[in-house]
A and B are shown apart, each in its own frame.
Chain A
């Protein structure tokens, strides 16, 4: 009975989580504790630190279309997505897209490999590709772009610094990314 009760509880959370993901009227992912930056509006500014230790901001990415991608290093889809990204980086680069992949602040409070280990092991030879920057998000940036604690969410920003497209898990949505990237090119 206890097992059954626990299962019912978790399934309930599942459905509650699913309904929250579609609420808000604009397809916002995870609006339970806030809304994500909306398509068509300027991307909110925020800071992250690259693996080289350099402080950068979202505003500094203006001038070139950017895929701003938030990951948790312990998340399987983020690991699979990074490998998928490595395979597709040449296509994205040719379309003028730069990828900025940042670890969610404090890995959403859980323990996982460091972003450096994560990136080196999964990006392979593309780890040092200038069109792919790895970093660690500030707390404010994570709160702004991932209020619903998604493990694996990304934003395509156009060269004017506006949010152009939002989705999650590049491991399963790479075709959409490539399609949108062609529009942005």
Chain B
């Protein structure tokens, strides 16, 4: 399959075209959604623990699924793009290992899912900012939905931008494309094409590092 300056939809079809990437998308989406089902009820418990599931409702489940799907998409697009870049670099005989990472890192930074994830984490757990002011806690308490919406919008934008970059690379499929068709070619082989500034780094969801509010129990009775 050869795609030339495809639309986002075409790029999406290409990216999710393999069973492996479909499975990856579902796996990442499910894992991230599961983490969000623990994170999102934080405001009701002030803790990050499994018992937060007691406070899940339909709205929070919907947010979890949406954010999980967004993250799954971004991660899969990035993995796809990294694979394409690596393939192109190999074909061009370019540097490998650390040199390769260093060469592609700057172009990844624009689109990591890290910022949307941090935004969601901060928005949800900001209500636990003790020793600050009531104003700050109140701000986070009443603007949780806006933070989640912002996080989801950023994920969607990141995914769309990444797909845009992938589609601009012109030659998406493993078969490559004819010389001259490719927007960017890095190697002598007509099959070696790349998107040197495509997409972003794969990042693991940092929610597991969320600060769990310290229990303040003192001297539990014996």
Q: Which residues of A contact B (CB under 8 A)?
A: 3-4, 7, 10-11, 13-18, 20-22, 26-33, 36, 38-40, 72, 74-77, 79-80, 107-110, 148-153, 164-169, 171-173, 176, 180, 183
Contacts and interface: CB of A to CB of B under 8 A. Distances in A.
A108 B138 contact: yes
B135 interface: yes
Report, nearest first, the 8 A-B pairs whose CB atoms are least far apart.
Answer: A108-B134, A29-B216, A32-B131, A76-B43, A172-B45, A110-B138, A39-B219, A80-B44
A7 B46 contact: no
Contacts of B118: 7, 11
B46 A17 contact: no
B211 A15 contact: yes
B214 A18 contact: yes
Contacts of B34: none
B137 interface: yes
Contact of B128 (A17, A22, A107, A153): A17
A20 B218 contact: no
Contacts of B211: 14-15, 18
B130 A10 contact: no
28 contacts: A14-B125, A17-B128, A17-B129, A17-B132, A20-B131, A21-B214, A27-B219, A28-B216, A31-B131, A32-B131, A38-B218, A40-B219, A74-B141, A74-B142, A75-B43, A77-B45, A80-B44, A110-B135, A110-B138, A149-B134, A165-B221, A167-B216, A168-B216, A172-B45, A172-B51, A173-B215, A176-B217, A180-B221
Nearest to B137: A151
Interface string B80-122: 0000000000000000000000000000000000010011001
